[in-house]
Amino acid sequence: NEAALIAARNDRTEITMDNFEAAIDRIIGGLEKKSMAISKEERKTVAYHEAGHAVTGWFLEHAEPLLKVTIVPRGTAALGFAQYVPNDNLLTTKEQLLDMTCMTLGGRAAEQVLLGKISTGAQNDLEKVTKMTYEQVAVFGFSEKVGLLSFPKKDNPY
């Protein structure tokens, strides 16, 4: 439906692949913020950050394949995002979780290495990494020091 709406807004009588891609971007990332003024320096930071995710993922064996990277501001806070091919597996290995953690931190690492400074743009990435790491230790029992224990989540006691 979203692709048809985009085609209609552009006075098209047929839906094209570009309309479907624009619809996916809108659904995943939110509305494009065409009026958002972003400085050249901030755009560069966002570009390096998103490229960091992409390049890091390219070199990791167990990372999900990259589908698309954009630095178009969308939604409530995203100045850019990387989109990955969804994983259909029902189970996730420790190696996959570690590679996802590395890939998620790749944006912040790129800022530090290539720009010599870090920004607040990695805040969402840090939330994801904190959640993934906590689950590895406290839920999945992947920590050798803590051992084979799984602590119930607070909202779902046994």
φ, ψ for residue 8 (rounded to 5)? Answer: -65, -40
Please name the amino acid found at residue 9: R
Distance CA 92, CA 148 (A): 17
d(C-alpha 97, C-alpha 135), whole Å:
10
- 41, 42, 50, 64: which one is catalytic? 50
42 in active site:
no
Partnered with residue 66 across adjacent β-strands are: 84
Of 119, 99, 103, residue with least CA distance to 111: 119
Supply 95's token pair: 């190696």
Active-site residue numbers? 50
